[in-house]
């Protein structure tokens, strides 16, 4: 992948030409947060919401980030790319240590890094695996510390699946890189936000639009059996949009392909954000 526009500590370059210190705390401790900002048909989707979430993540780690500067760099990356459809990945770390140490020096400067790539928002139907949520207790922070997600998702891939749906103490949390929705004949359900669930921007947008459309939706705590009884399951994220689940590996389900509530939600989302 050549000529990918990127920025590192305020300096724009191509991704292949950027050099990052091995003593970056992002590298040694995952002491960093990130955001993915999608744009479709040259329109940025929910830019302010993504920037607010990035600031919240930075605040959670006591990063004094220059949000105005970050916003400008993200917009510059999109303009430099000339892509109509794609996303910006943007990361903020605590900085570079003089030598690796768990205890960080408050005087080190934040390290920022971002790049832009082309991406087409065409969702495919997914086969998912149900698995125990083994991650840390602050999944509401969009941290780069994603080893639990990585191991779960690669285990799913090795078993012929596309994604995972995780549960903690039998209560559904989220996907490996997505939020979870499901529906029966007359209501949409999604797990309510907690420290175990990332406040997804696509999740937030979809809930707002579902309510405006007069579709019944319920946020709450739901167990694995609730999920498996559903007529439709779908996952949401900034890069997936809405992705329908066609199969739950090893589980008997009542899934109906292109269920009416999924199609209604998909049409709402495409009309309002991808057209």
* Model confidence band, residue 23 (pLDDT cutoffs 50, 70, 90): very high
Which residues 6+ apart lie within 8 Å of 250 measured at CB?
129, 130
Report pLDDT digits (tens) over 139-185: 999 999 999 999 999 999 999 999 999 999 999 999 999 999 999 99
* Model confidence band, residue 230 (pLDDT cutoffs 50, 70, 90): very high
CATH classification code of 126-274: 3.20.10.10
From residue 107, how far is each of 41, 54, 93, 182 by CA, in Å?
42, 22, 13, 47
Question: Interior CA angle at 149 toward 147 and 206, to 5°?
Answer: 140
* Model confidence band, residue 122 (pLDDT cutoffs 50, 70, 90): confident
Span 7-17, mean pLDDT? 97
Which CATH class name applies to 5-118? alpha beta
Span 237-256, mean pLDDT? 95
Q: pTM of the full predicted structure?
A: 0.95
* Model confidence band, residue 57 (pLDDT cutoffs 50, 70, 90): very high
Does residue 227 have a pLDDT over 90? yes
Span 205-234, mean pLDDT? 97
Side-by-side strand order, sheet with 232-237: 171-175, 163-168, 126-132, 241-248, 232-237, 179-183, 188-191, 217-220
Does residue 25 have a pLDDT over 80? yes
Report pLDDT digits (tens) over 126-138: 999 999 999 999 9
Span 104-126, mean pLDDT? 94
* Model confidence band, residue 59 (pLDDT cutoffs 50, 70, 90): very high
Does residue 1 have a pLDDT over 90? no
- Position 2 scores a pLDDT of 67
Does residue 89 have a pLDDT over 90? yes
What share of the chain in percent tops pLDDT 70?
Answer: 99
Span 108-122, mean pLDDT? 95
So where are the chain's domains? 5-118, 126-274
């Amino acid at each position: 992948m050549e000529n990918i526009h990127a920025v590192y500590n305020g300096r724009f370059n191509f991704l292949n030409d950027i050099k990052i210190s091995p003593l970056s705390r992002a590298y040694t401790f995952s002491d960093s947060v990130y955001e993915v900002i999608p744009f479709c048909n040259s329109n940025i989707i929910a830019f302010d919401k993504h920037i607010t979430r990035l600031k919240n993540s930075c605040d959670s780690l006591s990063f004094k980030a220059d949000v105005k500067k970050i916003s400008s760099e993200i917009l510059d990356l999109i303009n430099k790319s000339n892509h109509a459809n794609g996303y910006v990945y943007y990361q903020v770390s605590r900085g570079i240590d003089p030598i690796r140490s768990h205890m960080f020096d408050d005087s080190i400067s934040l390290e920022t890094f971002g790049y832009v790539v082309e991406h087409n928002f065409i969702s495919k139907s997914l086969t998912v695996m149900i698995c125990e949520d083994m991650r840390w207790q602050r999944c509401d922070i969009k941290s780069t510390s994603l080893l639990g997600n990585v191991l779960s998702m690669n285990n799913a891939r090795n078993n012929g699946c596309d994604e995972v749906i995780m549960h903690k103490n039998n209560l559904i949390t989220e996907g490996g890189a997505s939020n979870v929705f499901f529906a029966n004949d007359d209501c949409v359900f999604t797990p309510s936000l907690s420290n175990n669930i990332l406040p997804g921007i696509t999740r937030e947008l979809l809930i707002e639009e579902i309510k405006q459309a007069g579709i019944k939706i319920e946020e709450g705590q739901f167990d694995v059996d609730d999920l498996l009884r559903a007529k439709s399951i779908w996952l949401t994220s900034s890069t997936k949009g809405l992705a329908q689940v066609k199969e739950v590996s090893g589980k008997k389900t009542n899934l109906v392909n292109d269920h009416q509530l999924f199609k209604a939600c998909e049409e709402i989302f495409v009309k309002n954000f991808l057209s």
